[in-house]
């Protein structure tokens, strides 16, 4: 159990020290644009909700650069963690905690806007979509050693797919799908990624 809380704190410290400016810039962009749009407009019509989510998701997907750099840091400095007797559940919970902490500014912004400027249910759905999207990006990095250009292409594809979802069956199905895929990809590829890297 000693390694469980320490691991995500080590990675979070890497972000706060080595990726601080990038992280702050992304938070300022995402939180700022969501706050300004919501404060200056009545977000009630479906088209307004879709437009606001597009801006939010663009900022969340930009966090993919941090996700990619975290994986590089893990491979270079924290590869020992794979050999420790830690269950899948605890490993996934480590990443879940890490990315929850990295999204705290977005969560606070959405809470501040509800319910006066943004419906509470919509704010919760936005939060769940953001969180599940970040977990999905993390799990995708275990499929193989992507080059940054290839990883960004995957993020662009995800952006296009989610546009189809939010304009058809809605945000609830989207974040449920992201959560499910994040778990499945993590479980099926975590150790496969290790063996592929050594082959």
Share of residues in the chain with pLDDT > 90 (%): 65
pLDDT tops 80 at residue 45: no
Number of domains in the chain: 1
pLDDT at residue 192 in the model: 77
Q: Which helix or strand (DSSP H or E) is residue 41 part of? A: none
Residue 122's contacts (CB-CB under 8 Å, 6 or more residues apart) are 43, 49, 114
* 103-108: average pLDDT: 96
Contact indicator for 7, 57 with CB cutoff of 8 Å: no
The mean per-residue pLDDT over the stretch 33-49 comes to 76
pLDDT at 46: 65
- Alpha-carbon 122 to chain mean position: 18
Greater model confidence, 15 or 40: 15
As a whole number of angstroms, the distance between CA 20 and CA 13 comes to 9
11-20, 100-109, 152-161, 164-173: segment of lowest average pLDDT:
164-173
Decide if pLDDT at 123 tops 60: yes
pTM score of the predicted model: 0.90
Q: Which residues form the domain of 170?
A: 3-198
CA 60-62-67 angle, 5° bins: 90
State the pLDDT at residue 118.
86
Q: Is pLDDT at 141 greater than 80 in this prediction?
A: yes
Q: Tell me: pLDDT of 193 over 80.
A: no
Top pLDDT among 56 and 194 is at 56
Query: Of 98, 65, 66, which is closest to residue 81 (Cα–Cα)?
Result: 98
CB neighbours of residue 52 within 10 Å: 20
User: Residue 87's pLDDT is what?
Assistant: 85
pLDDT tens per residue, range 51-92: 889 999 999 999 999 999 999 999 898 887 777 888 888 899
The average confidence (pLDDT) of the chain is 88
């Amino acid at each position: 159990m000693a390694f469980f809380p320490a691991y995500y704190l080590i990675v979070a410290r890497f972000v706060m020290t080595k990726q601080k400016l990038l992280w702050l810039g992304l938070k300022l962009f995402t939180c700022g644009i969501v706050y300004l749009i919501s404060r200056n407009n009545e977000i009630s019509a479906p088209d307004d909700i879709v437009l606001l989510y597009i801006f939010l998701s663009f900022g969340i997907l930009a966090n993919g650069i941090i996700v990619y750099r975290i994986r590089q840091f893990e491979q270079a400095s924290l590869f020992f963690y794979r050999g420790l007797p830690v269950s899948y559940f605890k490993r996934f919970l480590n990443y879940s905690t890490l990315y929850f902490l990295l999204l705290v500014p977005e969560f606070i912004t959405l809470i501040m806007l509800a319910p006066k400027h943004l419906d509470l249910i919509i704010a919760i759905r936005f939060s769940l979509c953001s969180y599940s999207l970040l977990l999905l990006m993390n799990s995708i990095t275990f499929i193989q050693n992507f080059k940054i250009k290839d990883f960004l292409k995957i993020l662009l594809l995800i952006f296009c797919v989610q546009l189809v979802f939010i304009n058809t069956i809605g945000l609830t199905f989207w974040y449920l799908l992201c959560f499910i895929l994040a778990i499945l990809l993590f479980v099926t590829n975590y150790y496969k990624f290790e063996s592929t890297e050594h082959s």
